[in-house]
């Protein structure tokens, strides 16, 4: 066993795979009486996750930055509630959380799905780099404020939709906001997703005694979302996934996951009985991921090879260090008691 790594971080042979869809994963599951919050639950794999959980009977609350877009995309879906929230605005997170807690409801599922990818250098009002602010600090803040409702559920799960992109960078504890080093969007994205993995590891350790379990996950290489709307096309050409004109290569496109397949691992982590006594793990393809020890040959033009988890992103010492840094940078203590 690798030191400081959760011994449960190994595949279970779940019976599902990269081709499984969210509907297949949830078949036979009744979520009547359950309450879920899904950030970004109105677009891409988040929207598919909303549809599937709501169809199984859950009440799904979607905090959205773009209310009009959310209302349009969610039209016709039952069992949903729409609220205003911006993950880069601390006051917005506080307002949303206070409103939910005032309802007195328990929270069975918190799915931190919202994220941005490969954007130019931007900073929020606190000076935090935007990918780190949106993909990680927002979910740390939201989870902290909803902690009492998660405890009330007695069996809650907290999911962080991470990415294989965590392999692009460990967390830079010395310069997380690119104040001293040159900004590279891939490094910014990578460390934000490494942070998601580390957060889940630390959160699970704290939540176990309250029957709260935490998971991070890679949805897979998914075609048909708007996540990459700002991504520089040169990066795709460099990776070999697109031709010199910026068009995705047909042989790559055919190997990418559909949106229903991309949402499957989220739904599996949220509902699978196989994870009843397991937490703090990083998952992919509807199973717990294999630790990448350098034996996996990764090729961006072969999506099936984009798998595995780096040990630095699930290391317990790194996780505790990030927890403390997060409290310092955000200016509050996440007292998970």
Beta bridge partners of 158: 110, 214
Please count the other Cβ atoms lying within 10 Å of the Cβ belonging to residue 81: 14
* Strand ranges across the sheet with 281-284: 80-84, 59-64, 35-38, 109-112, 157-161, 213-218, 281-284, 287-288
Two structure tokens written together for 267: 């739904």
Catalytic residue selected from 42, 136, 164, 189: 189
Closest CA to 89 of 71, 108, 114: 114
Please name the residues in contact with 297: beta carbons below 8 A apart, sequence gap of 6 or more: 305
Assess whether 189 carries a catalytic annotation: yes
Whole-Å CA distances, 81 to 35, 41, 54, 188, 207 = 11, 11, 11, 32, 26
Which is it for the CA torsion 136, 137, 141, 142, positive or negative? negative
d(CA 42, CA 268): 19
Helix (H, G, I), strand (E, B) or coil at 158: strand
DSSP state letter for 37 = E
* DSSP letter string, 262-281: HTHHHHHHHH-GGGTT--SE
Closest CA to 288 of 314, 320, 260: 314
**Active site (catalytic) residues:** 189
């Amino acid at each position: 066993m690798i030191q400081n790594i959760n011994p449960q971080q190994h595949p279970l042979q779940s019976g599902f795979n990269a081709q499984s869809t969210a509907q297949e994963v949830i078949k036979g599951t009744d979520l009547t009486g359950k309450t879920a919050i899904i950030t970004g639950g109105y677009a891409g794999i988040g929207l598919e996750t909303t549809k599937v959980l709501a169809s199984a009977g859950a009440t799904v609350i979607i905090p959205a930055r773009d209310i009009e877009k959310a209302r349009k995309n969610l039209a016709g879906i039952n069992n949903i509630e729409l609220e205003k929230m911006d993950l880069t605005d601390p006051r917005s997170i506080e307002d949303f959380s206070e409103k939910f807690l005032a309802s007195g409801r328990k929270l069975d599922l918190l799915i931190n799905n919202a994220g941005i990818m490969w954007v130019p250098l931007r900073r929020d009002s606190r000076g935090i780099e935007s990918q780190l602010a949106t993909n990680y600090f927002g979910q740390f803040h939201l989870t902290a404020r909803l902690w009492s409702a998660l405890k009330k559920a007695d069996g809650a799960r907290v999911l962080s939709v991470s990415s294989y992109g965590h392999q692009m960078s460990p967390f830079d504890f010395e310069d997380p906001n690119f104040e001293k080093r040159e900004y590279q969007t891939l490094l910014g994205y990578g460390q934000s997703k490494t942070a998601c993995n580390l957060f889940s590891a630390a959160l699970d350790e704290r939540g176990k005694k309250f029957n709260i379990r935490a998971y991070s996950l890679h949805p897979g290489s998914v075609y048909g979302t708007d996540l990459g709307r700002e991504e520089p096309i040169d990066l795709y050409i460099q990776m070999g996934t697109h031709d010199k004109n910026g068009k995705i290569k047909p042989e790559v496109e055919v190997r990418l996951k559909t949106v229903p397949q991309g949402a499957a691992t989220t739904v599996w982590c949220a509902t699978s009985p196989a994870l009843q006594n397991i937490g703090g793990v990083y998952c992919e393809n509807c199973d717990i991921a294999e630790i990448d020890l350098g034996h996996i040959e990764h090729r961006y033009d072969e999506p099936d090879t984009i798998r595995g988890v780096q040990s630095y992103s699930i290391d317990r010492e790194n996780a505790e260090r990030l927890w403390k840094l997060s409290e310092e940078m955000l200016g509050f203590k996440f007292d998970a008691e």
